A and B are shown apart, each in its own frame.
Chain A
Amino acid sequence: MTTTTVTAPAPGTSLVRHGVIAWLSSTDHKHIGILYMCTSIFYFLVAGLLAMTIRAQLIQPNMTLLGPHQYAEIFTLHGTAMIFLSIVPFALGLANFLIPLQIGAPDMAFPRLNAFAYWIFFFGGLTIFSGVLVNGGAAATGWTAFAPLSDIRISTGGGQDLWIVGLLMTSVSGILTAVNFITTTFLYRAPGMTMWRLPVFTWEMIATSLMILLAFPSLAAVLALLFIDRNFGGQFFDAGAGGNPVLYKHLFWFFGHHEVYIMILPYFGVITEIIPVFSRKPLFGYTGLVLSAFAIAGLSMGVWAHHMFTTGAVANLFFSGVSFLIAVPTGIKFFNWIGTMWKGSIILTTPMLFAVGFMLNFLIGGITGVMIASPPLDFHAEDTYFLIAHMHYVLGGGSLFAIFGAIYFWFPKIFGVQLSERLGKWCFGLLFIGFNTTFFVMHILGMMGMPRRIYTYPALQGWGELNFIATVGSWIMAAGVFVFIWDVVSASLARKGVADDPWGGNSLEWWTTSPPPEQNFTSLPPIRSERPVFDAKHPELARRTGK
Chain B
Amino acid sequence: MITGRRLFVSSAVFGIVIAIVHWFSSRDYDGTILLGVMATALAFAASYMFVAEREAQLVGDRKDASNADVKGERLGVFTVATPWSLLAAFGACLLLIGLAVFPVLGVAGGAVLGFGLFQLVRESR
Contact = CB atoms under 8 A, between A and B. Distances in A.
A502 interface: no
Main secondary structure of the interface of B (DSSP, over half): helix
Looking at chain B, what size class is its interface with the partner chain? 35 or more
Contacts of B70: 191
Given A22-B81, A106-B78, A314 B31 contact: yes
Given A17-B80, A227-B99, 9 more contacts: A6-B78, A15-B80, A24-B83, A25-B86, A107-B78, A119-B85, A123-B89, A123-B92, A192-B60
B58 to A, nearest CB: 7
A318 B25 contact: yes
B60 A123 contact: no
A194 to B, nearest CB: 6
B43 interface: no
Contacts of B76: 5-6
B107 interface: no
Given A26-B80, A191-B62, A302-B35, A294 B7 contact: yes
B111 interface: no
Interface of A: 1-8, 15, 17, 22, 24-28, 103, 106-107, 111-113, 115-116, 118-120, 122-124, 126-127, 130, 134, 158, 161-162, 164-165, 168-169, 172, 186-196, 206, 210, 213-214, 218, 227, 231, 246-247, 250-251, 254, 294, 297-298, 301-302, 304-305, 313-315, 317-318, 322, 518, 523-524, 526, 528
Contact of B90 (A2, A7, A119, A315): A119
A315 B15 CA distance: 18
Contacts of A195: 3-4, 61
A28 B63 contact: no
A27 B60 contact: no
Interface of B: 1, 3-4, 7, 10-11, 14-15, 18, 21-22, 25-26, 28, 30-31, 34-35, 38, 41-42, 56, 58-67, 69-70, 72-86, 88-90, 92-93, 96-97, 99-101, 120, 123-124
A333 to B, nearest CB: 19
A191 B59 contact: yes
A257 B91 CA distance: 31
Contacts of A186: 1, 4
B99 A112 contact: no
